[in-house]
Amino acid sequence: MWKLAKDGIKLIAQNRKARHDYFIEEVIEAGIVLAGTEVKSIRLGRVNLKDSYADIRNGEIFINNMHISPYEMGNIANKDPVRERKLLLHKREINKLLGYTQQKGLTLIPLKIYLKGGLVKIELAIARGKRQYDKRQDIARRDAQRDMDRAFRENQKI
């Protein structure tokens, strides 16, 4: 479900595929505007960040395609699971992100969603898409590291 870190942060969900598909340039923390039943559903770990992204319109930043499952005990207060949600950032941070996203090839993607001091926070990354050969190089590098670690452990046992 979720993990409790030493600094009081409870990890709810993370987008593991993001680090595979993108080079992460910079990371920024943002608050998120949610309805009450959405918060309850997030606390239960019923959120999916896959295929979600953020965009900036009219000086505000929104996250799209983030799926928060409807709360089972909710009623008509349940919202659309994939509705657009506003992120809370200072104006200078939004302007900084706007400058990054206007560069060719950079986009905003969520990396993880977590609870910090009882508030729901989202970690946004400024990311550049990887090409297929970059992904293959990363996989080869990980495999080589795994083989070296395995050989090192076997040598330690002897």
Q: Considering the domain boundaries, does residue 157 fall inside one?
A: no
| pLDDT tens column, 46-95 | 899 988 999 999 989 999 999 988 888 767 767 778 889 999 999 999 99
pTM, two decimals, is 0.76
The predicted structure's pLDDT at residue 146:
92
Q: How many domains does the chain have?
A: 1
> The domain that contains 77 carries what CATH number?
2.40.280.10
Top-confidence residue, 74 or 33: 33
Q: Considering the domain boundaries, does residue 32 fall inside one?
A: yes
Provide mean pLDDT across the span 27-41: 89
Residue range(s) defining the domain that contains residue 43: 3-129
| pLDDT tens column, 115-149 | 998 899 999 999 888 777 777 888 888 889 998 88
Q: Considering the domain boundaries, does residue 11 fall inside one?
A: yes
Distance CA 73, CA 150 (A): 48
Distance CA 141, CA 53 (A): 28
Q: Considering the domain boundaries, does residue 109 fall inside one?
A: yes
Q: Considering the domain boundaries, does residue 74 fall inside one?
A: yes
